[in-house]
Copies of this chain bind each other. A is one copy, B any other.
Amino acid sequence: MDTKKCTAEVWCASNRMVTDNKTSWIAGAHLERFTAAALTRVGLPPADADRVAALMAEADLQGSDGHGIIRLPQYIKRIQAGGINVRPNIHVIEERAAMAVVDGDNGMGHLVVSRAVDLAIEKARSAGVAWVGTRASNHAGPASLYVRMPVAHDMIGLYFAVGNANHLPPWGGMEMLLSTNPIAAGIPAGDEPPVVLDMATTVAAYGKVKAKAKRGEPMPEGWMIDRQGRPLTDPKRAHEGFLMPIGGHKGYGLALIVGLLAGTLQGAAMGRDVVDFNADHVTPTNTGQAILVIDLAAFGGAGPFKAAVDTLVRDIRDSERLPGVERIWLPGEQSHGRRAEYARTGVPVASALVDELDQLAARLGIVPLRPQVS
């Protein structure tokens, strides 16, 4: 890490990016500005571009490296191909006291899901609990972003989504009719960090496969198998195989249920209707997501609940460990730690990705990520 060569004034002043051979550490705010500039340039209204950029930077800051700036080239490609509506009319099409369905009008998923979460929080405040689902949405980044929103209001968030490409066959099958359909939960705590679970129903999310490919690393056995049922460990051959569900038939069942709740229930794509957004940049994905928000105020108040969570968290963290285990982690605790670390050090981004993003910047005519060294 040598910042002495740096001569671009703004860059040096903000110390926004330091680089070694393979990785650049980039300030979250710098990633955010870059992303917003790119999205504005391809037609998003500035306020929408800012909103999406903030959520994408937040994904990188918490270490969800498969869901942050790594996705920008793909988003831009889809927008430029006409596969995303940059001026959507995001609107409610079904509504009752404790539920709504939001039609995203094929807008950026981050905008559609944010709208759904805001509405669910508002409804939960009076009804106690609310479910808001989306249709005609798009990829929205890591689920954990959206369950953290109700947590900030002393509410629990549960999130379900249909993944944007089918990588999972039914148990015993070969046709990829299911996606990695994630489940996420955000649970408020008191003095402890919130408990935040964000898991694909497959052993690994496809974003992690892509990240391995980007870094040139092999996948562990168990992530994928090929069509002969043999372990597949080369992420560059990912298209030849499929992901494995957690717990065998149980993970298959979970992925199916999540897809029915997040997709079918709202009239969004599921099964054979799911568009592979890695291969097809034009067809609207009709992505579905759903958020359930539970207001702790309705359940006897947030105070006693959060105190109970703190106690449980500490009981778990301090409990007896198996030989060789250094620490017992709570779900979300490592992201929480990374969030603090990356706010200080910047987000580590593979230099190959920085190159790709700066080529994108050149094509779009925006200021590149990497400072111009004279």
Interface positions of A (Cβ within 8 A of B) = 94, 96-99, 101, 126-131, 133, 156, 158, 169-175, 177, 183, 185, 187, 195, 197, 199, 203, 228-229, 246-247, 249-251, 253-254, 256-257, 260-261, 264-267, 270-272, 292, 294, 296, 298-300, 304-305, 308-309, 311-312, 315-316, 319-323, 325, 327-331
Whether the pair B312, A270 counts as a contact (CB closer than 8 A) is yes
Give complex CA distance A222, B299 in Å.
Answer: 38
Whether the pair A97, B128 counts as a contact (CB closer than 8 A) is yes
Whether the pair B320, A126 counts as a contact (CB closer than 8 A) is no
Whether the pair B331, A257 counts as a contact (CB closer than 8 A) is yes
Q: How far is the CB of A188 from chain B (nearest CB, A)?
A: 10
Whether the pair A156, B98 counts as a contact (CB closer than 8 A) is no
Whether the pair B299, A98 counts as a contact (CB closer than 8 A) is no
Q: Which of B292, B311, B321 contacts A172 (CB 8 A)?
A: B321
Give complex CA distance A330, B252 in Å.
Answer: 9
**26 pairs, CB–CB < 8 Å, chain A vs chain B:** A96-B126, A97-B97, A97-B126, A97-B127, A97-B128, A98-B98, A99-B127, A129-B129, A129-B130, A156-B261, A172-B321, A173-B320, A177-B319, A185-B257, A229-B323, A249-B329, A256-B331, A264-B312, A265-B294, A266-B299, A267-B299, A267-B300, A267-B304, A271-B311, A271-B316, A292-B292
Whether the pair A260, B187 counts as a contact (CB closer than 8 A) is yes
Whether the pair A264, B308 counts as a contact (CB closer than 8 A) is yes
Contact A156 to B265, CB < 8 A, known contacts A251-B247, A271-B311: yes
Whether the pair B322, A229 counts as a contact (CB closer than 8 A) is yes
Q: Tell me how many chains of this kind the complex includes.
A: 2
Give complex CA distance A304, B135 in Å.
Answer: 15
Having A127-B127, A197-B253, A265-B296, one finds 15 other A-B pairs with CB under 8 Å, namely: A94-B300, A96-B127, A98-B129, A129-B131, A171-B328, A172-B328, A195-B257, A199-B247, A228-B323, A260-B309, A264-B305, A264-B312, A265-B294, A270-B308, A271-B312
**B-chain residues with CB within 8 Å of residue A173 when the two chains form the complex:** 316, 319-322, 325, 328
Whether the pair A315, B195 counts as a contact (CB closer than 8 A) is no
Give complex CA distance A257, B261 in Å.
Answer: 18
Contact A170 to B316, CB < 8 A, known contacts A267-B300, A305-B264: yes
Give complex CA distance A364, B322 in Å.
Answer: 46
Give complex CA distance A172, B265 in Å.
Answer: 37
Q: Which of B94, B253, B320 contacts A299 (CB 8 A)?
A: B94
Q: How far is the CB of A301 from chain B (nearest CB, A)?
A: 10
